[in-house]
Amino acid sequence: MLIAVGYLIRRSVEESPVFEDLQRRRKESSAPLRELLKTHKRSVLLTAIIFIGNNAAGYLLIAFFATYAVTVLEMDRPTVLLATTLASFGWLVFTLWGGRISDRLGRVRTFQIGYTFLALWAVPMWFLIDTADIVWYFVALFVMTFGLGLSYGPQASLYAEMFPANVRYSGVSIGYALGAILGGAFAPMIAEALLGATGKSWMIGVYIAVAAVVSLVGVSLVKETKGVDLRA
């Protein structure tokens, strides 16, 4: 059902003027993947690195925190799931806000604020979670979504502006996929391993903080893209 809805929506959306212009100049994009790997490897690598911190923390938010609260802290499952869902709405709100303020502050600066906050909050939030109090559990996750939103809202704009039109789709999709693999694919497994090896939940926070710092360094290596000509 969702696939059908997505297909119908996509069919009703016109291509961007930039892409339509590129189709008219097809010779300039005859081998986008070859050109991408030849001249834009650095940008692909940076897009992957920039996504690692957000994707790792995001996966833990939606797939690990509730399990930890129920199985380790023995909190009530329905209440935990409700609190996790409500806290996750913060991610939506702050993502929209992050995209908006990036038009004023710049993509890179917005990312930097988001990842700095995420790195600083990653460890302290575990002391709230470990109280096994549902209110503090909700607060810990909701505050975390501030950093997640600001490091996700500007992503589409930043990635699109990092690549010229003829390799933009390939560059963004490959970089995003690599970032998802390096960030979120192994995050729950790493979290479980850290918890099992140390018995200290805040070590998972250290892992999130390290991932956020890695992405912070990556985005700081990108020259501000706001205002670039997408047709270039």
CATH of the domain at 171: 1.20.1250.20
Question: Is 10 among the domain residues?
Answer: no
Question: Is 71 among the domain residues?
Answer: yes
Note the pLDDT tens digit of each residue in 36-60: 777 889 999 999 999 999 999 999 9
Average pLDDT over residues 16-33: 57
Q: Which domain holds residue 115?
A: 53-220
Q: What is the pLDDT of residue 16?
A: 62
pTM over 0.95: no
Q: What is the pLDDT of residue 17?
A: 64
Percent of the chain exceeding pLDDT 90 equals 70
Question: Is 198 among the domain residues?
Answer: yes
Question: Is 97 among the domain residues?
Answer: yes
Question: Is 39 among the domain residues?
Answer: no
Question: Is 2 among the domain residues?
Answer: no
Task: Render the burial of 28-39: b for 16+ CB within 10 Å, e for the rest.
Answer: ebeebeebbeee
Residue 228: count of CB within 10 angstroms of its CB: 14
What mean pLDDT, rounded, does the chain reach?
89
Question: Is 74 among the domain residues?
Answer: yes
Question: Is 137 among the domain residues?
Answer: yes
Domain count, the chain: 1
